[in-house]
Amino acid sequence: MDLLVQATLNGLLLGLVYALVALGLSLIWGVMEVVNLAHAEYLMLAMYATYWLWALGRVDPLVAAPVVLPLFFLLGWLTYRVLVRRVLAAPMVSQIFATFGLLFFLRYSAFAAFGPNVRGIWQSRLEGSLTLGPWYVGVPQLAAAVVALGAFALLWLFLNRTKTGKALQATAQDRVVAQTLGIDVEQMFALAWGVGIAAVALAGISLMPFYQVSPTVGDAFLLIAFASVVLGGFGTVAGALVGGIGIGLVENVLGALIAPTFKLLFAFAVFVLMLLVRPQGLVGE
């Protein structure tokens, strides 16, 4: 029983981080129906930005967000303006290949700039673990989960309590009708990219106290992000949250009860099963 509870705790904390990684992917698809295959490369770049702030200036990941997030919001905005806007009217396969090319451009730029070595942060303020009876919770993992929950709460408030957020939702529902209502759809698309890339950058910052970065770190997280949005429902904020938590629980609970070696296999089995049985996801319509 203790093993099951511990695996559930681990799965819940990690699942919230997965949800934050998946959030931007789902938001961009929900607003403009573009699959961003380069999504996890921004996670990798944000992890490097956090690492170098610590390595060069001893800036703790705990306080790196005010520096990193505006940069990645701008990077997402520029990605839309420079690349995505030019292929928006093209067939979906062209959009996919455009973001696929962007994935390799960002990855091999990281190889050229930082080399292939794995890098990590030591002696962060977020270290150690909390003991809850027979169970324990890692402080960095708990902090990352709290940050993820806070990000979802802020995004929900933005989308439902601000005029700009409601304009973004209107654009997601029908861009033509949104235009007739006077909404600048181009600005909404750029905003979706800015917010989506800032969200995955926040996940990268949160990961650095307990995860190491390399130019290929995005591989595992991209697949997990797709599995999360498929499980929860592609294109919805709630779907990213439910899907991320679900994948985290499946991975950790089944991994602990059956075989840790196959925990990713269980996550991707759920991914395939959902596509076959309920492709709209758990909370999708």
**Tokens 């989506």 identify what position?**
196
Position 134 confidence tier, pLDDT thresholds 50, 70, 90: confident
Kindly state the percentage of the chain with pLDDT values over 90.
61
Helix boundaries (H) for 233-283: 237-249, 255-257, 263-277
| pLDDT for 125 | 76
Mean local confidence (pLDDT), 136-149 = 92
Q: How distant, in Å, are the alpha carbons of 19, 152, 168, 227, 269 from that of 149?
A: 9, 5, 21, 19, 26
| pLDDT for 197 | 97
- The model's pLDDT over 40-78, given as tens digits with 9 standing for 90+, comes to 999 999 999 999 999 999 898 888 999 999 999 999 999
The structure's pTM equals 0.93
CA distance 201 to 71: 9
| pLDDT for 168 | 93
Position 283 confidence tier, pLDDT thresholds 50, 70, 90: confident
| pLDDT for 16 | 95
194: CB partners within 8 A, 6+ apart: 73, 74, 76, 77, 80
| pLDDT for 18 | 95
Are the beta carbons of 247 and 43 closer than 8 angstroms?
A: no
Left (φ > 0), alpha (ψ -120 to 50) or beta: where does 36 sit?
beta
| pLDDT for 128 | 81
| pLDDT for 255 | 84
Q: Given a cut of 70, is residue 285 above it in pLDDT?
A: no
